[in-house]
Amino acid sequence: MAETFEASAGDGKLTITGTLTLTDGGGVLQLYGGTHEHIGSVTVSLPRPSLTDGDRTSVTSSVINLLSHKEELVGRPAAEMLAIALDRPIVCIAGIHIDGATNDELKLLTGFSEDVTRALVQAATECVGARS
């Protein structure tokens, strides 16, 4: 049965919202924010044993960025963090936009995206652990 988790961070136009839909076979993460939510980047992350340490989990990721979009900067790390933590494939769809965003705003959006992802990892791992 699919379970859904939500988290947000930031305020106003700097708000990032994340929704994770988790199944036994994988998960779909949606990261949106700013003033224009859209699809800017899609990342697929697949967990696998580390090539250097078989006791660790690593990931292989593939990314599709829409023309002139840079959401890979938040989508790829989010998908990889979730894939490692939950040991299942994760697809991340990210779309965050603010017209004329400053470097400081971009740093805040990136940080809020990380906060949202960490909150979703915590909620999902607690749920998965409770089912085991």
The domains of the chain, with CATH numbers, are 3-107+123-131 (3.30.230.90)
Predicted pLDDT at 130: 52
**Does the structure show a pLDDT above 60 at 10?**
yes
What is the Cβ-side half-sphere exposure of residue 60, based on CA atoms within 13 angstroms?
Answer: 4
Tokens 């965003």, located at residue: 101
Rounded Cα distance between 8 and 116, Å, is 6
Share of the chain above pLDDT 70, in %: 97
How much is the pTM?
0.93
Q: How does DSSP classify residue 81? A: H
Please give the mean pLDDT across all residues of the chain: 94
Convert the pLDDT of each residue in 23-72 to its tens digit: 989 999 999 999 999 999 999 999 999 989 988 999 999 999 999 999 99
Burial class (CB in 10 A: 0-12, 13-18, 19+), 60: exposed
